Amino acid sequence: MAAQTFHHTRSNSFPLPSRLSPLVSQIDEHLNRLKASNATSTSSAISHKLNGLQDLYDSVDKLLQLPFSQLALVQEQHKEWVNELLDGSLRLLDLCSTAKDVVLQTKENAHEIQSVLRRRRSGELELVGEVKRYFISRKVLQKTIHKALRNLNGLETNRVFSSSDDHETTAMVSLLREVEQVTSSTLEYLLSMISGPKEQSKPGSWLVSKLLHHKRTACEQAGRDINEFEKVDASLRLLVNQKMSRSENIINIEMQNQLKDLELCTQDFEDGLECLFRCMIKARVFLLNTLNP
């Protein structure tokens, strides 16, 4: 499932007070950097986005702690907006939690395959059995991801503002919605990468062929990067279909390297998601305290 396109929703007709300009400028800079990288969905780019989101939420926290922000959001006429932001934050926390669980399970699955490969002399059947368990787990994780992304559909990328003459608060709420949207987009990219294409490539497809013959340049010329998850899937499909013999040591070494890359990738995701989760919790607490002083 492709990540939703990020939309800039804030209107220039809703200027924030000049006293907030430094913080607003910081948030805008973070948002612009994150939006500029939307076209890139490699694992390193997503890890960079997760780090960028942490910096973004640090600035958001400072904005929410300002007396102006707290006084503006506590107004009765703005209670609906705050509730809407709280609902969005809860959905994003659920999505982030799902991403954390999926990443952890993927890392553990890859580690199990690595362990069996290191003791391969214990038997080919053991390895094939572990690979089959890996793909069973992958299917379960894919279903979890698809369900989480479907549930996210309720979090609209564009919302209609209720009428208000308070342009300053309207602009601030719009800014917070942008933060919500870019967070959603990044998590969708991450989950979509882990899930993989809807239709898995067959063992005899170009992807497996290129992996088997180590023609990475040909893969790059095919128009898209092959991420760590797809590489491991393709190599293990070769194995489970008995197209790779024990004597092919070079393939075994390549698979070990791919699994190691996947482990490092998932570790980066795990660290980034944990920090992001804490940042979002902190922002949600500020909003809750504003609603219930």
Task: Look at residue 142 and tell me whether its pLDDT is greater than 90.
Answer: yes
Predicted local confidence at residue 247, as pLDDT: 47
104: nearest Cα among 267, 230, 261: 267
135: nearest Cα among 37, 41, 241: 241
- 0.85 surpassed by pTM: no
The residue ranking higher by pLDDT, 153 or 27, is 27
Look at the block and give the residue holding tokens 């996947």. Answer: 262
Predicted local confidence at residue 165, as pLDDT: 61
Residue 44: count other Cβ atoms within 10 Å of its Cβ.
11
Average per-residue pLDDT for the chain = 78
Query: Which pair of tokens denotes residue 84?
Result: 């809407």
DSSP character at residue 14: S
Task: Look at residue 160 and tell me whether its pLDDT is greater than 70.
Answer: no
Distance between CA atoms of 152 and 146, rounded to whole angstroms? 10
What is the tens place of the pLDDT at every residue in 125-136? 777 788 889 999
